[in-house]
Amino acid sequence: MIQYPNIDPEIFRIGPLAIRWYGVMYLLGFAASFFLVRSQIRRKGIQVEKDFVESLFTWLILGLLLGARLGHVLFYGLPFYLQNPFEIIAVWHGGMSFHGGFIGCLVAGILFCRSTKQDFWLISDIVIATAPIGLALGRLGNFINGELYGRITDVPWAMIFPDGGPHPRHPSQLYECFLEGILLFIILWVAKDRLPRSGMVTALFAILYGLFRFLVEFVREPEVSNVFNLLTMGQVLSSIMILCGVFLFWLRRKAAS
C-alpha cells in the first residue's frame, strides 16, 4: 500500500476567499488549450476575426458548465433533484458530469461556429485535440481533493483516502489522468494532421475517451448504483459515446472518399 499524500486542497485563503488546487488545475487546462488552439488556427491559416478564440472559449466554458451541471442532474441524481429543485442551481455543493459537459460544449461550439460562419468540424478538431490537457489536470485536482476514488482493492499501490473509509482503494483518478489525459493527448496530437477529413479527430476523441472511461469504471467507485445491476452509469454513457464516435468517424471517412 502507498501512503496517500494528503495535500491540502486549499493553496491559500484570504478571509472567506479560498484558492483551491482543483480550480487552479482547470484554469491551467483552459489556458493551455486556449494558447494551443490560437496557435493551431494561425498555423493552419484559418481566417477568423481578431477576438474569435476569446469568444469561442467563452461559449465553450458556458456550454461546459451548463451541460456538466444538467448532465449530473439528469444522469446521476434526477430523483433527488426532482424532490429538491432548488439544489439544481447549488453548484457549490458539487456535482458535474463530464458527459453532460461534452454535450454542452458540442452544442455551444455548433451554435458559435454557425454564427461566425466557420467550419464546425475543423474548429472542433483543433479544440478537442487539446481537451485531454484539462482532463489530466482535472483528475489531478480530484486526486488532491480525495474524491472520485476507486473501489476497495489489495493491489500494492492502493491508497486509503480520507473520505473513503478504512480500506485501501484504487487511485482511479491517477488512472484517468494517464489514460484520458496524457495518453489521449499524445494520440490525438499525433493524429490531428494525419487524418484525411475534419471531424475525425473529434470522433477519435469520443471513441478513445469512452473506451478509457469504460475500462476505468471497473475499478472506480460508482457514483450511483449499477444500471440493471450490470454497468455503471459512467459505462452506459461511455458506451453511447463510443458508438456515436464510431458512427461519426465512419461518416467523415465516407465523406473524404
Tell me how far the alpha carbon of residue 222 is from its chain's centroid.
Answer: 17
Tens place of pLDDT per residue across the chain (257 aa): 899 998 998 898 888 888 889 889 989 999 999 999 999 999 999 999 989 999 999 999 999 999 999 998 998 888 888 888 888 887 766 678 999 999 999 999 999 999 999 999 999 999 999 999 999 999 999 999 999 999 999 999 999 999 999 999 999 999 999 999 999 999 999 999 999 899 999 999 999 999 999 999 999 998 776 777 789 999 999 999 999 999 999 999 887 65
Q: What letter does residue 182 receive in the DSSP assignment?
A: I
Residue 223 in domain? no
The pTM of this model reads 0.93
Q: Total structural domains in the chain?
A: 1
Residue 181 in domain? yes
Instruction: Give me the pLDDT at residue 227, please.
Output: 73
Residue 189 in domain? yes
Query: What is the rounded CA–CA span in Å between residue 69 and residue 90?
Result: 10
Instruction: Give me the pLDDT at residue 138, please.
Output: 93
Residue 39 in domain? yes
The grid cell for 35 is 494558447
* Host domain of residue 159: 10-194
